[in-house]
Amino acid sequence: MADEREQGQPDEADRQKVLMLDEEMRDMPREVRNVIAPVRLSGKDHMQFRCFPGIDCFNACCRNIEILLTPYDLYRLRKRLDLEPEAFLFEYATPYFLRKGELPVPLLRMDEKTGRCPFNTDAGCRVYEDRPVTCRYYPIGMALMRRQDATEEEDFYFLIKEDHCHGHRQPRDWTVAEWRRDQGSDGYDVQNKDWMEFVIKRRSAGDMVKTSLPVSEMFYMASTNPAEFRRFAFGSSFMRRYQVDEATRAQIAQDDLALTEFAFRWLKSVLYGDPFVGVTPEALETLRERAARKAVEARKTPDDSGGQS
């Protein structure tokens, strides 16, 4: 049995885990779907892989790829490069819409001539300690999915095998969980938890549910630009309309990570009724009065409005 695994032959247990990924994979380019090994993995499942300077395919995976930048990716890279949010986005990111859920996300901009990652050098990654979570996961991918009949999100993983990557031939065995811990992707997932949950909720709504422009703009602002979201929260009527305690106000006024977490919890409260950021009694009364006025206007007949048609 061990020989079969070394030769890449699946055993019966693997056959029982063949992925039903049609719904998830239709968002992926065909070239991506073609390199995914169709086996659903958990944290306890094993993989064989090793990457290191000197392997004959070194740096081959760092070009002609789409790297989605999560909020924590952006936070780490901005600090590493000492750039303000607007400056980083201008120099290194390209907006992209996820087809399912219609949410705008930033992609790392590859070099137009070479297709190479802007942080890649012949010696390797120049921001390796702060590299994005997509790079940390490779050659594992994580599926974001929430079944309609499930009460909680369902995480699972899959293996990516590209022709140019020879790391799969290296005799090093890991479980998925071991690989994630070794690469630090598990810590990134903790930091991105609220962002990931919001993405899952929008995706699980289905193709017929459109994301409004104001929601898209708020989502992108919260994802990419904590300084801009801070100006919005403290420079508008936001703090009068929502119940934000003094300790939270003080924290999000200074801490970008706390602000990003707050922003996504607020979005989930507004759109999905999650009990995190409530509306103040004064704002709630204003909303009720506005709704009552609209109801009265809707019931008016032409005679009630002076005979106007």
Structural domain contains residue 307: no
Q: Does 242 lie in the same domain as 130? A: no
**Does 85 sit behind a cis peptide bond, omega within 30 degrees of 0 on the bond before it?**
no
Tens digits of residue pLDDT in 223-270: 999 999 999 999 999 999 999 999 999 999 999 999 999 999 999 998
> Is 143 in the same domain as 89?
yes
pTM comes to 0.81
Q: Of 205, 196, 185, 210, which Cα lies nearest the Cα of 105?
A: 196
Write down the pLDDT at residue 193: 92
**Rounded-to-integer distance, Cα 272 and Cα 261, Å:** 16
263 and 156 housed in the same domain: no
Q: Kindly state whether residue 302 falls inside one of the protein's structural domains.
A: no
Identify whether residues 190 and 111 lie together within a single domain.
yes
CA 42, chain centre distance (Å): 20
What is the phi-psi region of residue 54: left when phi exceeds 0, alpha when psi lies from -120 to 50, beta otherwise? Answer: left
- 18 and 143 belong to one structural domain: yes
Is 277 within the bounds of a domain?
yes
Residue ranges of the chain whose pLDDT lies below 50: 1-8, 15-16, 18-23, 25-26, 29-32, 146-151, 208, 309
What's the total number of domains in the chain?
Answer: 2
Note the pLDDT tens digit of each residue in 193-224: 999 888 888 877 655 456 788 889 999 999 99
Look at residue 97 and tell me if it is in a domain. yes
Task: Answer whether residue 45 is part of any domain.
Answer: yes
Q: Note whether residue 196 is domain-resident.
A: yes
Asked, for residue 303, whether it belongs to a domain, the answer is: no
- Six token digits for residue 198: 């919001």
| Domain co-membership, 67 together with 133 | yes
Q: Are residues 156 and 258 in the same domain?
A: no
Same-domain status, 248 and 190: no
The reply to whether 246 falls in a domain is yes
Residues 185 and 242 in one domain: no
Interior/surface letters 119-145, b for 16+ CB within 10 angstroms, e for the rest: bbeeeebebeebbbbbbbbbbbbbbbb
Domain that holds residue 18: 2-202
